[in-house]
Amino acid sequence: MKPWKRLSIEDLVKEPVRIVRERLLTHSGSEITYIYRPGPVEAVFVLPVTPTGTAYLVHQYRHPTGKFLLEVPAGKVDGGETPEAAARRELLEEVGAEVDELLPLPPFHPQPSFNAVIFRPYLALGARRVAAPRLESSELLTPLELPLVEVYRRLEAGEIEDGSTALTLFYARPRLSALGLLG
């Protein structure tokens, strides 16, 4: 049972993402307006690790920040697609890689006050480049291959500013340690 009652809802924007304005009656009897991105929407974030202990990352331009950010390959789960299939597709598109094994990490809501998106991170083992990246026209990124110890050094130094990448690395760390891949 939801503690708030919907009084009305309207679409403010439908493309490129849906944003709605909702009037609500709260549990305390107050009427409020809430603007957010409704679900269900899923995205995947993938840390691809090679057998030699390196990771494929991307240095990607993110217009709202005005910066290039160091990130794991990521993207939206398309309609009718499983998160695992989306993870494999994004790896091929952004870094030209395939992997032997995808290990799901704990899913999370990146901004639950503003959207209903759920992010599904993965640790991908046995990564290898098999093709050139096939970027979307709006993507401006450079694939990188870095030793895992360097990736975690950058994380600890605060050089990885993308929160979803940082949390993916955090969740992957115990598994990478158990596999002896962090030195």
Residue positions counted in the chain: 183
Region 109-123 average pLDDT:
92
Residue 174 DSSP symbol: H
DSSP 3-state of 95: helix
Contacts with 82 (C-beta within 8 Å, 6 or more apart), sequence order: none
pLDDT tens-digit map of 27-71: 999 999 989 888 878 999 999 999 999 999 999 999 989 999 999
Q: What is the pLDDT of residue 152?
A: 98
Regarding pTM above 0.85, the answer is yes
Region 128-154 average pLDDT:
94
